[in-house]
């Protein structure tokens, strides 16, 4: 018996996993380009959120049809992957269906996989129909042209082909069909191959087997380049997701320092800072104009976004025809981060100024100013992404670094500064209503 296929298998397996590992390292490096943020608090709540939202898919079912189909694909995909273990052992050691010795249990397992494979195939087909024939509005927004649209479909084709290969592999496996055990779906496909010779059947079975495992490895490596990355990142993302009330915006510590100094009558603003501090303290930018100004959780958010568009379809600004789309904010952040990452790779680990940034080159001020901070996007996201935090950080940059707020907002802020109210009324008149 030749061991060439086994060696070939080992090479493909190592190459597949190796390249994936390489990309995961790049992913982690890119995410770490963000500012540090302390997320070590509320551990029990974070575990609960991850279990409920990512593992339990609790937010997916808010839209029952998509939610139900998604759960089938999710459960199916996870469980069918147990089969990969058998494939890997068979591939490495030249065995055939090593677990078939389990007898009835094997039948139950493979039978379950077959049913799931069929259900996944049907669900994925329905997803494809929703995207391409029914043309659900949220999949046809302006940010969904080109690659995002193709990516969505490629993932569906991948899953259709992988499921079909699994069933064909079982249907053409004479040995397996003879066992009459577990072939609950494939027995109905088998008759299609009735007139085929043993040799042809064997070739088809082997081809399906090889294509199935190679397909899985290719799909694994496709993840990094695709929105499908959410199948991995949904877990850390829901863990690190916001645990504070949605209405609570973070407190800029750098600003607090300045404010406290201004309010402190004993502080001398012209004093030279103590030796040990001054060297460490770099000048902090207020707000964010590029990806490195965002924190790493926001960057993780960007990689986790699967472009489902639930945020955008709930966004009041988007619903009334404004340019803002929370999904686009996330996609832009990811695109820019990838661009920065590639720049770093090309320049041996350092970022060469490319004259571009997230603000302006990707996200326009018109989008940022259209946000009502209503948190509909945050509520809608099935994987705890917070587009609002990015919008606010970019507004902070516009206002505090560039003084580039719309004129009316500048008026409002001047009024607060001078009168303690957003309107030009005197603070001394605050209680006049009592006697009116």
Partner 1 sequence: MNELLKVPTMAEYMAQGKQPEVLFWVGCSGSFDDRAKKITKAFVKILNQAKVDFAVLGTEESCTGDPAKRAGNEFLFQMQAVTNIEVLNAYEVKKIVTACPHCFNTIKNEYPQLGGQYEVMHHTQFLKSLLEEGKLTIAGGQYKGKRITFHDPCYLGRANNVYEAPRDLIRKLEAELVEMKNCKSKGLCCGAGGAQMFKDAEKGDKEVNVERTEQAIEVKPDIIAAGCPFCNTMMTDGVKAKDKEAEVDVMDIAELIANAQDL
Residues that bind partner 1 (CB under 8 A): 244-249, 251-252, 255-256, 258-260, 262-263, 286-287, 314, 316-317, 319-324, 366, 369-376, 378-379, 392, 394-400, 405-406, 408-409, 411-413, 416-417, 420-423, 425, 427-436
Nearest CA among 154, 126, 131 for reference residue 219: 154
Taking the least distance from each CB to partner 1, the nearer of 210 and 397 is 397
Nearest-approach distance from CB 331 to partner 1, in angstroms: 20
For partner 1, the closer CB: 50 or 324: 324
Distance, in Å, from the CA atom of 278 to the CA atom of 141, rounded to the nearest integer, reads 49
Question: Between residues 226 and 384, which has the closer beta carbon with respect to partner 1?
Answer: 384
Q: How far is the CB of 366 from partner 1 (least distance, A)?
A: 6
256 vs 347, beta carbon nearer partner 1 = 256
Element (DSSP H or E) covering residue 292? none
Q: Taking a C-beta distance cutoff of 8 angstroms, is the pair 246, 379 a contact?
A: yes
Residue 247 CB, nearest approach to partner 1 (Å)? 3
Nearer to partner 1 (CB atom), residue 61 or residue 72: 61
Cβ pair 208, 169 in contact under 8 A:
yes
Nearer to partner 1, 33 or 399 (CB): 399
C-beta of residue 324 within 8 angstroms of C-beta of residue 318: yes
Q: What are phi and psi of 119, to 5 degrees?
A: -60, -40
Shortest distance (Å) from residue 211 CB to partner 1: 44
Question: Who contacts 347 (Cβ-Cβ below 8 Å, separation ≥6)?
Answer: none
Give min distance, CB of 175 to partner 1, in A.
Answer: 54
Smallest gap from residue 436 Cβ to partner 1 (A): 7
| DSSP one-letter code for 347 | T
User: Minimal distance in Å, beta carbon 56 to partner 1?
Assistant: 18
**Cα 87 from Cα 93, distance rounded (Å):** 10
The Cα 58–Cα 53 span in angstroms is: 5
- At CA 365, angle to CA 359 and CA 366, rounded to 5? 145
Shortest CB 101 distance to partner 1, Å:
52
Q: By C-beta, is 187 or 419 nearer to partner 1?
A: 419
Least distance (Å) from partner 1 to the CB of residue 369? 6
Provide the terminal-to-terminal Cα distance of the chain, rounded to the nearest Å: 100
Q: How far, in Å, CA of 120 to CA of 111, rounded?
A: 14
Nearer to partner 1, 187 or 411 (CB): 411
Smaller CB separation from partner 1, 345 or 429: 429
Nearer to partner 1, 178 or 417 (CB): 417
Q: What is the distance between the alpha carbons of residues 43 and 66, in angstroms, rounded to a whole number?
A: 30
The backbone torsions φ and ψ at residue 312, rounded to the nearest 5 degrees and listed phi first, read -65, -40
The DSSP annotation for 175-221 comes to: HHHHHTSS-TTHHHHGGGGTTS-HHHHHHHHHHHHHHHHHHHHHHHH
Shortest distance (Å) from residue 414 CB to partner 1: 9
d(C-alpha 389, C-alpha 394), whole Å: 9
Q: Is 111 exposed, middle or buried (0-12, 13-18, 19+ CB in 10 A)?
A: middle
Handedness of CA 116, 118, 122, 124 (dihedral sign): positive
CA 166 to chain centre: 27
Minimal distance, residue 43 CB to partner 1, in Å: 20
Q: Which is nearer to partner 1, 22 or 262 (CB)?
A: 262
Do 320 and 335 form a contact (C-beta atoms < 8 A)?
Answer: no
What gap in Å lies between CA 6 and CA 1, rounded to an integer?
Answer: 11
């Amino acid at each position: 018996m030749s061991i060439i296929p086994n060696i070939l298998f080992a090479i493909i397996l190592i190459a597949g996993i190796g390249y994936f590992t390489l990309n995961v390292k790049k992913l982690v490096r890119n995410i770490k380009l963000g500012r540090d943020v302390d997320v070590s608090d509320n551990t029990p709540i974070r575990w609960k959120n991850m279990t409920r939202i990512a593992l339990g898919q609790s937010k997916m079912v808010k839209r029952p049809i998509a939610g139900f189909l998604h759960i089938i694909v999710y459960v199916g995909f996870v469980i069918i992957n147990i089969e990969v273990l058998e494939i890997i052992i068979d591939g490495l050691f030249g065995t055939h269906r090593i677990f078939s010795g389990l007898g009835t249990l094997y039948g139950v397992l493979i039978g379950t996989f077959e049913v799931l494979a069929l259900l996944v195939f049907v669900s994925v087909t329905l997803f494809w129909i929703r995207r391409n024939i029914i043309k659900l509005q949220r999949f046809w927004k302006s940010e969904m042209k080109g690659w995002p649209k193709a990516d969505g479909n490629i993932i569906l084709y991948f899953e259709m082909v992988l499921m079909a290969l699994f069933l064909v592999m079982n249907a053409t496996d004479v040995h397996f069909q003879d066992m009459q055990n577990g072939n609950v779906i494939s027995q109905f496909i088998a008759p299609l191959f009735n007139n085929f010779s043993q040799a042809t059947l064997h070739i088809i079975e082997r081809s399906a087997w090889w294509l199935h495992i190679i397909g899985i490895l290719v799909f694994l490596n496709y993840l990094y380049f695709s929105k499908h990355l959410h199948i991995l990142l949904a877990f850390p993302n829901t863990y690190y997701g916001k645990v504070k009330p949605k209405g609570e915006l973070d407190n800029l510590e750098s600003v607090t320092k300045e404010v406290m100094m201004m309010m402190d009558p004993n502080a001398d603003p012209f004093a030279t800072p103590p030796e040990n501090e001054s060297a460490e303290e770099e000048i902090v930018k207020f707000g964010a104009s590029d990806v490195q100004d965002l924190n790493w959780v926001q960057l993780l958010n960007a990689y986790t976004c699967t472009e489902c568009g639930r945020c955008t379809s709930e966004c009041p600004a988007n619903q009334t025809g404004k340019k803002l789309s929370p999904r686009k904010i996330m996609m832009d952040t990811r695109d820019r981060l990838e661009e920065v990452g590639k720049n770093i790779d090309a320049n041996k680990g350092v970022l060469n100024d490319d004259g571009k940034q997230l603000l302006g080159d990707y996200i326009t001020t018109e989008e940022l100013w259209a946000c009502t901070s209503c948190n509909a996007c945050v509520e809608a996201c099935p994987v705890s992404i917070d587009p609002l935090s990015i919008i606010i950080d970019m507004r902070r940059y516009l206002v505090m670094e560039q003084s580039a707020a719309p004129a009316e907002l500048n008026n409002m802020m001047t009024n607060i500064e001078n009168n303690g109210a957003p309107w030009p009324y005197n603070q001394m008149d605050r209680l006049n209503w009592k006697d009116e």
